[in-house]
Structure 1
Amino acid sequence: MRYRPVIAVLVAAIALLLTVGGTAVAAALITGKDIKNGSLTGKDVKNKSLTPKDFKGSVRGATGATGATGATGTTGTTGATGATGATGATGATGATGATGPQGPAGLVALTYIQGPPVALPNATQVGSSVDCPTGTSVVSGGASTVTVGPAVILDGSFPKDTVADADLIRDDGWAVNYNNQSGSASSFRVYAVCAAVGSVS
């Protein structure tokens, strides 16, 4: 009779060991293969126990709104200058321009006038001239002396006007003035080059 409490304690201990051991064995044996697809619901999952990495892209929320446009970037540096292109083809010849107005008439013919010898006594100043033919104008002139030297001085050589026409233009002949300080008598001639011209001013 005194051994009954010991037997009761042993039976209780064995029952406890079977209960604990059976739960551990069941937990170790249940895997994903043992769960039917679609059998678990949200109620079977503990709140806040899952993180985004547990879904592996199987759950996707709605597309978010488009973000604001970013600021414009800074301007890039200027690129290197490109190679010179080939020379283009020559353009077509332009149309001939209009004929310009007629120019003034040129010198048709020159007339050379030589005056007679003019006496040039010593220690005197003498002037002389020659006239161009009617209808012509003087274009050049000059003179020459028999005695050549620094003491025979040409004081003036210039175109002249005559009283035969009404204008005051020096276009009618050529005039010169000589001064003889050579100590002896001399002489000279006056020359003129004349031509028919369109106008003289």
Structure 2
Amino acid sequence: MTDYQPLDRSFYMQPTLELAKQLLGCLLVKETDEGIASGYIVETEAYMGPRDRAAHSYGNRRTKRTEIMFHEAGSIYTYTMHTHTLVNVVCGGIGQPEAVLIRSVEPYEGLDLMKRRRVGRPQKEWTSGPGKLTKAMGITPADYGGVFTKPPLMICEGVRYEPHNISSGPRIGIDNTGEARDYPWRFWVTGNRYVSK
């Protein structure tokens, strides 16, 4: 197994919009019984909690699903949308329920594993979306409530993208959220082939 070094909890304590950019180029790593799968994060979306109509915690909404959003920065927030698991990084601090959705990754390790899990799909489509990457990497609802600072699901130091390599624009799939749908809180590595369409 590769020796990955998870990022320290302090990394997650920066402002949410800044964290969404700083996560680009970090390595998302998932250990399962089948082996390790990892990929460089190339697309994220920030959700700014109580004041963001697109956030699950808008208006400080606290439910069984959103409870982890009120916990420590660096916690893992997974949820199911339709049949897909989506994975988020909790940030904002205790009682400040903000999060960053990991939208896509560039595969790095465990390509055979990803190929099996995304059978029949071209490699470009293995991880080019938030539900695709969780399938390819073996991230499940069971990861909810863990922390990204230790196995089995970690975020580790990876390649750093310079600010001029980063694009931003409106988030995707939140059309019914009023003015929030236009906030330019999606960030991606400019020109990367794994960024979701």
TM-score normalised over the length of structure 2:
0.20
More contact order relative to length (CA 8 Å, sep ≥ 6): 2
TM-score (norm. length: structure 1)? 0.19
> Which one has the bigger helix percentage?
2
Larger Rg: 1
